[in-house]
Amino acid sequence: MIILKKSLIAFLFCFFTVALLCMTYVIVDKRNKKTRAIRQSKNIPVLNLESVEREKVNTVFNNGLLTVFVYVSSTCEFCELELNEISNSKKYFQNVNLVFLSSERTEVLYDLLAKRDLLDVSTALHIPSTDAVSLFDFTLLPTVSIYSQEGELIAKYDGETKIETVLRHLK
């Protein structure tokens, strides 16, 4: 009986030690991935994505213009509000690389932008959700990232953002 109790105590000790080590590894790994994503998102990454026309796009937005990435979804209520505000202010986006990214099918993104007459002033690209996190650190919808003419991150706004806040950077 005493041997059984000692064995049980030893087993529980080993079990909780292994569980604690696993949890520590997961936390450290997640923190490292987040740090890497933040470091990578400081500059515009080279994109190898799919356009609305189902063409593979390998693009670098370094043409001397500001670049605004907007990560949206058709099922997000705040995204709908953000898209409406951008549509109402699209004259301010004429001399900007305006790029809409979505993890949804390209047809859904196309319809979302066509409904608001935004296709003429923007580029629409499909991005896998894993790339959205690893390349841009996009974890919330909508997210707006603004990059300078040199491709450096100026500002990033997670969640609903007033259009005036974005427009301040475009002037």
CA dist list (Å): 108 to 51, 80, 101: 12, 13, 11
What mean pLDDT is reported for the chain?
85
Average pLDDT for 5-23:
85
**Angle at 110 (CA atoms; ends 107, 113), nearest 5 degrees:** 150
Q: How crowded is residue 64: how many other Cβ atoms within 10 Å of its Cβ? A: 9
Average pLDDT for 12-27:
86
| Residues 133 and 158: beta-carbon distance below 8 Å | no
Give the integer Cα–Cα distance in Å for 85 and 148. 22
Per-residue pLDDT tens digits for 73-130: 999 999 999 999 999 999 999 889 999 999 998 889 989 999 999 988 888 888 988 8
> Could you state, in order of their start, the residue ranges of all structural domains in the chain?
1-40, 44-170
Give the integer Cα–Cα distance in Å for 83 and 140. 15
The DSSP bridge pattern shows strands 143-147 and 153-158 to be: antiparallel
CATH hierarchy code of domain 44-170: 3.40.30.10
Q: Identify the pLDDT of residue 52.
A: 64
Per-residue pLDDT tens digits for 36-60: 655 555 778 777 777 766 677 666 6
Per-residue tokens: 161: 């953002």
pTM of the model: 0.75
Per-residue pLDDT tens digits for 117-170: 998 888 888 898 888 888 888 888 999 999 988 888 999 999 989 999 999 998
Per-residue tokens: 56: 């593979």
